[in-house]
Structure 1
Amino acid sequence: MSAPAGRQVPLTWGARLGRDGQARFRLWAPGLDALALEHDGRQAAMRRHADGWFEGVAEGAAPGQTYRFVLPDGRAVPDPAARAQADDVHGPSVLVDPGAYRWRNAGWRGRPWREAVLYEAHVGTATQAGTFAALGERLAGLADLGVTALELMPVAQFAGRRGWGYDGVLPYAPHPAYGTPDELKALVDAAHDHGLMVLLDVVYNHFGPEGNHIAAYAPDFFHPERHTPWGAAIAYERRPVRDFFVDNALYWLEEFQFDGLRFDAIDHIVDDLSERELMVEIAERVRADLPGRHIHLTTEDNRNITRLHERGPGGAVRWFTAEWNDDFHNVAHRLATGETDGYYADFAEAPWRKLARVLAEGFAYQGEPSPHGGGRPRGAPSGHLPPEAFVDFLQNHDQIGNRALGERLTTLVAPEHLALWQALLVLSPHIPLLFMGEEYGETRPFLFFTDFAGALADAVREGRRREFAGFAAFAGHTDTIPDPNAPATFARSRLDAARRDSAAGRQAAARLKRLLALRRAHVVPLLAGGAGGTGCVRAVAEGAVAVDWTLSGRRLALRVNFSDAPCALPPADGGTVYAAPDEAAAALARDGVLPPRAIVVAERPT
């Protein structure tokens, strides 16, 4: 029996290739009175409708043929909903047959969220080749380690060959430097072979600074009087604009069989002019259109809101599955490094108490005034949500790459302390996320890199230097900050295979593999009930915290002491799940004293 063909999502925008050799094209261009379609070297006028949509039909269409739209002034622009590009973001788009790829795992339905152990990867630097195919060769090792979900940084096409992906301008087209659409599907298929889910990071809050041509024919796509950190705000309340993003979410989940999406910086998706906000509509469409699959939608949002993540009857996810928990990262980083600059200022005071609250209730800031935010209240009560509504991490692309020198924690924190933090991350009932290389203690930086030219490259370089000019470490010598546009900056950010294969790398990976096995055996089963309000802070001391969770009729107790002296904490009674540096720590913890630099996790019936 042949493998089933892929499904073609009926997009509101863009090109639809039929089996009869006919292709249909749609572009919303309310700013124009006329528009032409250039297909395979031939040009023809498109029909304009009263609502600003232009439509055109081409005969003799086939996959691989190029097309673009020609404006009245002669300017030719790509399809903003192109499934592929012939070359760069300014060139012609390519007709793609979404049904050409034959899926081996068409019956894959995903995995429950409670089983998620996320591994965030940048396709371009995760391997030496920097391609979808090369990343596929690492999947077996990740699955063996205990990772259950690969999370890709954005792959939508951006200007140049090198970049993080957050400056994409063609949200439907996989970046050609990484591979073709079918090669991305093959990566997802291969991940499913190994039992791995795959999530994709999508950016709906802005377009990049080069290659976005939409304003030339659809100025109504934007609000010029409103601004985001990256330019004019998007007019989400307009139906064609709204469909552009709703369709995009469904496109990745259906045509590419992704298991979920991570929505970048949704605090900058301002949709106060709509009856129903865009994020809610996307979630409802996904839940309605894709029944029977485990689809996981996560958000990044520094407001610490909870309304999008509320659970329904029996703990069922209504809209969004989980929130990236910056509070966990920020307080952990503050405690691990001592840094209090920037957003770490919110954790300068009472950091151990904030850590305990994060573990027990999700967010540290639940409406309290934020020093970094000028004293404005930040957050909402979060303790009622289940632990798996929070994605915790010690490192990710932002918190490494947005440092001037891109240092990882392996170069900032003593190994024995970092081992404690990793155990705490993995064995808490929150969902853990690892950043690529973290599993073996990568020491190479992950830097901010781009591939712009001319004035834009100069602006990015100088902007980066201005950003850190106020930091004491760079006073008078900001020229030491790596140039984002230099190829060497990108090359330095590639993972080091030699480090991964070294004795130290293998030892670090073995330690993490054991922790993930313990999580799978002892923590994941407790999350099946989906209950909230499970955490309780038992004690806080300088350098130590004690937190308990009541989950599925069991009590999970975590005791950790980062200090150099023994610490009296409430007993961690029950069966020992994990103890470090040795089993003696567990015996002492049961007696109410935790040794220096130790962690104990225990479990017992309630």
Structure 2
Amino acid sequence: MQEAKRRHGAWPDDNGHTQFSLWAPDAKSVAVQLQDQTQHEMTAGENGWFTTTLPAPAGTDYHYLIDGHLPVPDPASRWQAGDVHGPSRVIDPKSYPWRSNDWQGRPWQETVLYEVHVGTLGGYAAAADKLPALAELGITAIELMPLGEFPGGRNWGYDGVLPFAPDSSYGTPDQLRSLIDRAHELGLMVFVDVVYNHFGPDGNYLGQYAGDFFREDVHTPWGPAIDFRRRQVRDYFIDNALMWVQDYRIDGLRFDAVHAIGERDFLTEMAERLHASIPSSRHLHLVLENEHNDAELLQQGFIAQWNDDGHNVLHHLLTGEHEGYYADFADDATGKLARCLREGFIYQGETTRHGTARGSSSGHLPPSAFVLFLQNHDQVGNRAVGERLRTLADDDALKSATALLLLSPMIPLLFMGEEWGSEQPFQFFTSHNDELGEAVRKGRQKEFKDFSKFSGQAIPAPNDASTFETSMPDYHNRNTADGKAWLAFYRELLSLRHRHIVPRLQGSKALHSEVLGEAAVAASWQLGDGQRLHIALNLGSEELTAAAPARAQPLFSYRASGDQLPARSVRVLLEGAA
């Protein structure tokens, strides 16, 4: 295996020199403008490339000067100490002294994901301090919301414009490496959420010197689509993914909203090149968010997809909400949940409320091809006021659904604070300039005007610092009696998962599922060693009876006893191999 060749950006050598490469097909000339204001012309090459090598060691600040008058940051900048419009800084990706050099990752079957927003935790160093408690709880992987440099100091990360530069408001690149290093020392994998479907609205200069980066004939919700037909554009994003894998030693990537990427072969090429870049002994997990429910991609280098279908039907059953995208899951919701547990996706080609077909057949995939969750940044923060599920659902029903989440053969994902029953909102926040901030505020207000529950209600202004502050996890409640009780509940379930489910997960398959009654289902899976897992869940308000297999042994129950399933209860059984 050879280290994959990467071209975009600034690459220092061991002798104090740096090679600079910029793709600027619309530029007549490009110069490197160093921090001392000296300008050094770059050589124009083929296909729009400009390159030069200069005596500029790591730590040197620079801009690219386009046609003698437009200074721009490096689109592949490795650090932006002065935010998105400031100079880029040369970084040596090999200078960090790694401590966990023997780390090879963990098998996918062992994964319990925990999604965090680094900024609300206080930055890279502060996030590292939270890791021991997560490892002790039974988490095996943290998933960091997008890190690419975004405007200002407060943002979810999906407004990033410089994806190679870990956001400077969180700390330095080496502090991020130290966070990852600490995770690996504790046996935790690290995933990074990457956004390859659009750039944010402030700080992206590519259109001024590389118009071919975008397509004017195809538009997305964020503007002109990125043109993945072009080799240079593909390599830009593949170089970025390789940076996370090789320079930061991350264990997995979550690819945001790939349904907005029209060129599917770009995704398969990405997966092929990433897997080819690492030794066979190292685990690397590639996970999709994809509204298209394209099951075939999950057999082409991507190991799993976020199962929004599963979340949406469970959320409806827990809360009764049926507006917006929940409308697609409100009709025959119990039957839809049974299908999710049996086949993964609910929509496998059926028509949605928009009148379009969605999804493909997924019943042949293993349960571990689906990441299941009750909460995440989208499903909390994209609500009008960012309510947590605990403020919307009955506690007993929520605990029963949590047992399904953590003991089913699907891969579970938790959202920060969920484990202590947090009721602290997580809201949509930004720190844009005033004009853009006001436009975002009006857009959010308009977005929710047709929802009956929020009609006329003021939506928190994303640009207000208080919106960000409100979204910080309430760690003080972790140590209350209520917080400790929820933690004990999650700890017990995760311990059971690691002892009884994880060792048998490889080779598992769904057997069947059935509707027991309103908001109540039973599902069975054959695990890899031949044993059978049975989960009966009643999220409804009526007591039901569900006969247990004769030879099955109790693994966990909440409010259930024997064959009786009271309202808002769950029963989990393990049946020995025949």
1:416 equivalenced with 2:408 (yes/no): no
**C-alpha contact 1:327 1:358 (8 A) present in aligned 2:** yes
**C-alpha contact 1:323 1:390 (8 A) present in aligned 2:** yes
- In structure 2, the residue matched to 1:13 is 8
For 1:542, the aligned partner's letter is E
1:565 shift after superposition: 3.0
Q: 1:281 aligns with which of 269, 283, 288?
A: 269
- In structure 2, the residue matched to 1:52 is 48
Structure 2 CA distance for aligned equivalents of residues 327 and 535 of structure 1: 20
**C-alpha contact 2:30 2:68 (8 A) present in aligned 1:** no
- In structure 1, the residue matched to 2:61 is 66
For 2:89, the aligned partner's letter is V
Structure 1 CA distance for aligned equivalents of residues 160 and 511 of structure 2: 39
Structure 2 CA distance for aligned equivalents of residues 363 and 535 of structure 1: 15
1:39 shift after superposition: 2.0
**C-alpha contact 1:572 1:601 (8 A) present in aligned 2:** no
**C-alpha contact 1:359 1:535 (8 A) present in aligned 2:** no
Aligned residues: CA RMSD: 1.4
Q: 2:313 aligns with which of 331, 340, 358?
A: 331
**C-alpha contact 1:9 1:254 (8 A) present in aligned 2:** no
- In structure 2, the residue matched to 1:248 is 240
Answer with 572-581 or 160-169: which moved more: 572-581
Q: 1:191 aligns with which of 169, 174, 183?
A: 183
Structure 2: 5+ residue runs without aligned partners?
none
**C-alpha contact 2:11 2:20 (8 A) present in aligned 1:** yes
Structure 2 CA distance for aligned equivalents of residues 499 and 50 of structure 1: 59
Secondary structure (helix, strand or coil) at the match of 1:233 reads strand
**C-alpha contact 2:511 2:525 (8 A) present in aligned 1:** yes
Structure 2 CA distance for aligned equivalents of residues 502 and 378 of structure 1: 44
Structure 1 CA distance for aligned equivalents of residues 543 and 315 of structure 2: 23
**C-alpha contact 1:36 1:71 (8 A) present in aligned 2:** yes
1:225 shift after superposition: 2.1
- In structure 2, the residue matched to 1:597 is 568
1:572 shift after superposition: 4.1
Structure 2 CA distance for aligned equivalents of residues 90 and 189 of structure 1: 30
1:303 equivalenced with 2:295 (yes/no): no
1:8 shift after superposition: 9.0
- In structure 2, the residue matched to 1:403 is 383
Secondary structure (helix, strand or coil) at the match of 2:32 reads strand
1:426 equivalenced with 2:418 (yes/no): no
Secondary structure (helix, strand or coil) at the match of 1:15 reads strand
1:569 shift after superposition: 2.4
Answer with 260-269 or 231-240: which moved more: 231-240
Secondary structure (helix, strand or coil) at the match of 1:138 reads helix
Secondary structure (helix, strand or coil) at the match of 2:199 reads coil
**C-alpha contact 1:145 1:513 (8 A) present in aligned 2:** yes
Secondary structure (helix, strand or coil) at the match of 2:170 reads coil
1:488 equivalenced with 2:488 (yes/no): no
- In structure 2, the residue matched to 1:542 is 518
For 1:76, the aligned partner's letter is P
**C-alpha contact 2:318 2:539 (8 A) present in aligned 1:** no
Q: How many residues of Structure 1 are paired with residues of Structure 2 in the alignment?
A: 572
**C-alpha contact 1:9 1:251 (8 A) present in aligned 2:** no
- In structure 2, the residue matched to 1:459 is 439
Secondary structure (helix, strand or coil) at the match of 2:283 reads coil
For 1:153, the aligned partner's letter is M
For 1:329, the aligned partner's letter is H
For 1:544, the aligned partner's letter is A
1:437 equivalenced with 2:417 (yes/no): yes
Structure 2 CA distance for aligned equivalents of residues 78 and 367 of structure 1: 44
- In structure 2, the residue matched to 1:3 is none
Q: Deviations over 1:135-193 (max 9, x none)?
A: 10010000000000000000110111100000110010000010111000000000011
Q: Deviations over 1:564-593 (max 9, x none)?
A: 332132424411111112xxx34x22xxx4
1:243 shift after superposition: 0.4
Moved over 4 A (4+): 7-10
Q: Deviations over 1:108-147 (max 9, x none)?
A: 100000010000000011x2xx110001001000000000
1:472 shift after superposition: 2.1
Structure 1 CA distance for aligned equivalents of residues 482 and 400 of structure 2: 17
Structure 2 CA distance for aligned equivalents of residues 500 and 185 of structure 1: 27
Structure 2 CA distance for aligned equivalents of residues 520 and 169 of structure 1: 39
- In structure 2, the residue matched to 1:167 is 159
TM normalised by structure 2 equals 0.97
**C-alpha contact 2:397 2:569 (8 A) present in aligned 1:** no
Structure 2 CA distance for aligned equivalents of residues 342 and 236 of structure 1: 31
- In structure 1, the residue matched to 2:541 is 564
**C-alpha contact 2:115 2:143 (8 A) present in aligned 1:** yes
Structure 2 CA distance for aligned equivalents of residues 157 and 540 of structure 1: 49
For 2:567, the aligned partner's letter is P
Structure 2 CA distance for aligned equivalents of residues 253 and 189 of structure 1: 13
1:366 shift after superposition: 1.2
Structure 2 CA distance for aligned equivalents of residues 520 and 535 of structure 1: 22
Q: 2:358 aligns with which of 378, 398, 401?
A: 378
Secondary structure (helix, strand or coil) at the match of 2:512 reads strand
Structure 2 CA distance for aligned equivalents of residues 325 and 596 of structure 1: 26
- Give runs of aligned pairs for residues 358-377 of structure 1, distance below 5 A: 358-371=340-353, 374-377=354-357
Structure 2 CA distance for aligned equivalents of residues 363 and 546 of structure 1: 17
- Give runs of aligned pairs for residues 179-328 of structure 1, distance below 5 A: 179-271=171-263, 277-291=265-279, 292-310=281-299, 318-328=300-310
Structure 2 CA distance for aligned equivalents of residues 547 and 77 of structure 1: 56
1:86 shift after superposition: 2.7
Structure 2 CA distance for aligned equivalents of residues 482 and 141 of structure 1: 31
Q: Deviations over 1:262-281 (max 9, x none)?
A: 00000001116xxxx11101
Structure 1 CA distance for aligned equivalents of residues 5 and 58 of structure 2: 17
Secondary structure (helix, strand or coil) at the match of 1:189 reads helix
For 1:322, the aligned partner's letter is A
1:511 equivalenced with 2:489 (yes/no): yes
Secondary structure (helix, strand or coil) at the match of 2:540 reads coil
Structure 2 CA distance for aligned equivalents of residues 472 and 527 of structure 1: 43
**C-alpha contact 1:391 1:433 (8 A) present in aligned 2:** yes
**C-alpha contact 1:158 1:170 (8 A) present in aligned 2:** yes
For 1:109, the aligned partner's letter is Q
TM normalised by structure 1 equals 0.92
Structure 2 CA distance for aligned equivalents of residues 147 and 390 of structure 1: 17
Structure 1 CA distance for aligned equivalents of residues 4 and 153 of structure 2: 28
- In structure 1, the residue matched to 2:133 is 141
1:418 shift after superposition: 0.9
**C-alpha contact 1:331 1:344 (8 A) present in aligned 2:** yes
Structure 2 CA distance for aligned equivalents of residues 224 and 325 of structure 1: 32
Secondary structure (helix, strand or coil) at the match of 1:16 reads strand
**C-alpha contact 1:370 1:378 (8 A) present in aligned 2:** yes
Q: Deviations over 1:63-103 (max 9, x none)?
A: 21101100115110000001001301011100111111011
Q: Deviations over 1:418-460 (max 9, x none)?
A: 1111111101110000000000011110000011113211110
Secondary structure (helix, strand or coil) at the match of 2:536 reads strand
Alpha carbons of 1:457 and 1:595: their partners in 2 closer, same or farther (altered >3 Å)? closer
For 1:282, the aligned partner's letter is M
1:10 shift after superposition: 4.6
For 2:108, the aligned partner's letter is W
- In structure 2, the residue matched to 1:99 is 94
Structure 2 CA distance for aligned equivalents of residues 303 and 396 of structure 1: 19
Secondary structure (helix, strand or coil) at the match of 2:156 reads coil
Q: Deviations over 1:214-245 (max 9, x none)?
A: 11111111112211100111111111111001
Structure 1 CA distance for aligned equivalents of residues 33 and 4 of structure 2: 23
